[in-house]
Amino acid sequence: MSGYDEVYRQSIEQPEAFWAEAALGIEWDVAPATVTGDGRWFPDGRLNTCHNAVDRHVAAGHGGQAALIYDSPVTGTVRTVTYAELRDEVAKTAGMLRDLGVEAGDTVVVYMPMVPEAVVAMLACARLGAVHSVVFGGFAARELAVRIDHAEPKVVLSASCGIEPARVVAYKPLLDAALAAAAHRPARCVILQRPQLEAELVPGRDLDWAQAVRAAEPAGCVSVAATDPLYILYTSGTTGLPKGVVRDNGGHAVALHWSMRNVYGAAPGEVYWAASDVGWVVGHSYIVYAPLLAGCTTVLYEGKPVGTPDPGAFWRVVATHGVRTLFTAPTAIRAIKKEDPSGLFAKKWDLSGLRYLFLAGERLDPDTYHWASSLLGIPVIDHWWQTETGWPIAADCVGIEFLPLKPGSPTKAVPGWDVRVLDPDGRECPPGVEGAVTVKLPLPPGALPTLYRDEARFARSYLERYPGHYLTGDGGHVDADGYLYVMGRIDDVINVAGHRLSTGSMEEVIASHPDVAECAVIGVADELKGQLPVGFVVLKAGAARDPADIERELTALVREHVGPVAAFRRAVVVDRLPKTRSGKILRATMRDIADGKPYTTPSTIEDPAALPEIARAVEGP
């Protein structure tokens, strides 16, 4: 039996022994005598997550090691923060929050750009046992107000502005508008004044971050129960109202610490870079907590994959800072590929130290996989997880055993995750047959125990459809070798004349075309067949092609690889696809546009002009 098979078997058949051993990697104030009970992990243990992420490394003699590298091409700043410096800054910031009345169990909303103070803010909350709720800095006032009303923070931590490649985004007016619209009134707002734009402070409510921290005395770590909440992270729901995913302290620390070595193969002292944002789950798990829990050096990047200043931006960061493991979204790699299809910018940098490229957040199409593999000459590893799960469900666990990669698959279930593919009646699907991807309960440590203040919605959203299983909301299948294929959200499955077809399968075919940089396929209402697939494609830089020729070639490709049953006959060339700032394509909004339904422009959209372009394309011939 291979290393992976043995570890996975133990995690499923003997979960208590498996996670008890993993828990030894964490320093506990009170070691848990019970591993699991009533669906919660380490219920009688006590710890502090900030101590485990920062203080214990200083105590172990690693205070001089780099904890955080802040690289900001948009401001021309590079700054290294050691573990000892991070501890001192976090302790002072926690002291400031304590002086403002924040105690264990209170909530604090963090609405900040990608600056070191955002990481400090999260850790300072954890230090006090307070619950942070990070709201992505690009969210509009209305979305921020909804989250403030739901989380009811005692304090809001924010900044005067965020910085995009071509503009400065004023945060303070957005915060002021959100507070004016919200019913809940936080006692204080603390504003980090950035030199690029100074914000006007409201007397009696707003404090200057630097002054308030300077006046504070350092705060120590507060011991909390393993089952106490560490943070709330809001994720989108089908109703349009955000769901507050809760993460506990104990299970989260154990799972993330375990994942760094076993999933990502990262060792203490190595440089690990998750190129994401602290406003999303990847930022929480793999910019902030996991690398620091593991004693690694984490990179905080305030920039873009292209345009800051060129498609070589990521490769510069990797080479300059000695990044060993890079984790980003396929969208970022596709953006680089589109601007630099020959990989000339990568060749300007010494990337010999880069060991793995991990990709997640959306399906990794085989074309992007092959391009990155060929360019870098290292394993390019697709892996799959969700805001709700907090860490990977399926991956090639390179720290256990490197398994052969299969393009289009995130490999196999990660130990702890009992993944099953079920048909509509709840029966397991045989290999190769698509169904709903689920996880047999109980969920492992680190996954959400509930939704904030909404246990009924938690059960309704995730547990009721298949009793005894967690519904991921994704469809897919397992092949004869046990490899999982996740083909997209269940609502991305379209019904063409009674045939259930995955739009992900069609996207995979279209993306293989040599002139296509990226694509999205949606199902459009059709009177005769119920739904018909329509593809929207962005061509690679320099691909000056007649759209009619592209459409004919893509139709032939889909017919060849998916079959005439797909009834794919329409491919529209567009300049860009509408995406959220985290890189997800807004397929549901595109479907509404194509079906002539009213739609609202999501506050998370990266480029609002992309939606009218889709509308014009749909109205065309």
Question: For residues 510 and 376, what is the distance between their CA atoms, to the nearest angstrom?
Answer: 24
Tokens of 260: 């760094």
**What share of residues in the chain are helix, strand, coil (percent, to 5)?**
35, 25, 40
Q: What is the CATH number of domain 497-619?
A: 3.30.300.30
pLDDT in tens, 15-60: 999 999 999 999 999 999 999 988 899 999 999 999 999 999 999 9
Sign for the pseudo-dihedral over CA of 59, 62, 65, 68: negative
Query: How does the average pLDDT of the chain come out, rounded?
Result: 93
- Side-chain half-sphere of 619: how many Cα atoms within 13 Å? 8
∠ CA 150-152-158, rounded to 5°: 105
pLDDT at 113: 96
pLDDT in tens, 222-233: 999 999 999 999
Give the contacts of 541 (CB within 8 A, at least 6 positions apart). Answer: 338, 339, 341, 517
- Given a contact cutoff of 8 angstroms between Cβ atoms, the answer to whether 581 and 568 are in contact is no
pLDDT in tens, 272-318: 999 999 988 999 999 999 999 999 999 999 999 999 999 999 999 99
- Given a contact cutoff of 8 angstroms between Cβ atoms, the answer to whether 517 and 482 are in contact is no
pLDDT at 349: 98
pLDDT at 1: 44
Question: For residues 66 and 63, what is the distance between their CA atoms, to the nearest angstrom?
Answer: 8
Please check the confidence at residue 593 and state whether its pLDDT lies above 70.
yes
Which residue type is seen at 588?
A: A
Please check the confidence at residue 582 and state whether its pLDDT lies above 80.
no
* Angle, helices 15-22/250-262, rounded to nearest 10 degrees: 80
Cα Dmax for the chain:
71
As to burial, measured by CB atoms within 10 angstroms (0-12 exposed, 13-18 middle, 19+ buried), residue 16 is exposed
Q: Using pLDDT thresholds of 50, 70 and 90, give the confidence band for residue 608.
A: confident
DSSP 550: H
Question: For residues 447 and 390, what is the distance between their CA atoms, to the nearest angstrom?
Answer: 6
Question: For residues 207 and 97, what is the distance between their CA atoms, to the nearest angstrom?
Answer: 11
Q: Using pLDDT thresholds of 50, 70 and 90, give the confidence band for residue 2.
A: low
Question: For residues 354 and 322, what is the distance between their CA atoms, to the nearest angstrom?
Answer: 7
Q: What is the CATH number of domain 3-303+383-476?
A: 3.40.50.12780
Question: For residues 503 and 534, what is the distance between their CA atoms, to the nearest angstrom?
Answer: 9
CA distances from 547 to 42, 122, 536, 617 (A): 58, 48, 11, 12
Question: For residues 360 and 422, what is the distance between their CA atoms, to the nearest angstrom?
Answer: 23
**In the chain, domain spans:** 3-303+383-476, 497-619
pLDDT in tens, 185-231: 999 999 999 999 999 999 999 999 999 999 999 999 999 999 999 99
Question: For residues 255 and 268, what is the distance between their CA atoms, to the nearest angstrom?
Answer: 16
pLDDT in tens, 317-347: 999 999 999 999 988 998 899 999 999 999 9
Give the contacts of 374 (CB within 8 A, at least 6 positions apart). Answer: none
* Angle, helices 587-594/610-619, rounded to nearest 10 degrees: 40
Hey, which bits of 26-82 come out as E strands? 36-37, 40-41, 46-47, 66-72, 77-82
No. of H helices and E strands in the chain? 20, 31
pLDDT at 531: 85
Hey, which bits of 499-596 come out as E strands? 499-502, 516-526, 530-539, 570-573
Lowest mean pLDDT among 121-130, 296-305, 574-583: 574-583
Q: What is the mean pLDDT of residues 109-116?
A: 97
Report the share of the chain in percent with pLDDT over 90.
Answer: 79
Give the contacts of 95 (CB within 8 A, at least 6 positions apart). Answer: 213, 216, 217, 218, 219
pLDDT in tens, 531-571: 889 999 999 999 989 999 999 999 999 988 877 778 899 99
Question: For residues 8 and 616, what is the distance between their CA atoms, to the nearest angstrom?
Answer: 50
pLDDT at 616: 82
Please check the confidence at residue 239 and state whether its pLDDT lies above 60.
no
| N- to C-terminal Cα separation, the chain | 58
The structure tokens 């570890």 sit at 7
pLDDT in tens, 471-514: 999 999 999 999 999 987 776 677 786 666 778 878 988 999 99
Region of residue 357 (phi > 0: left; psi between -120 and 50: alpha; otherwise: beta): beta
- Residue from 281, 371, 389, 387 nearest 332 by CA: 371
Give the contacts of 276 (CB within 8 A, at least 6 positions apart). Answer: 282, 283, 286, 287, 327, 328, 329, 361, 582
CA 411 distance to own-chain centroid = 19
Element (H, E) at 611: helix 610-619
- Given a contact cutoff of 8 angstroms between Cβ atoms, the answer to whether 332 and 582 are in contact is no
pLDDT in tens, 48-79: 999 999 999 999 999 999 999 999 999 999 99
Question: For residues 183 and 48, what is the distance between their CA atoms, to the nearest angstrom?
Answer: 32
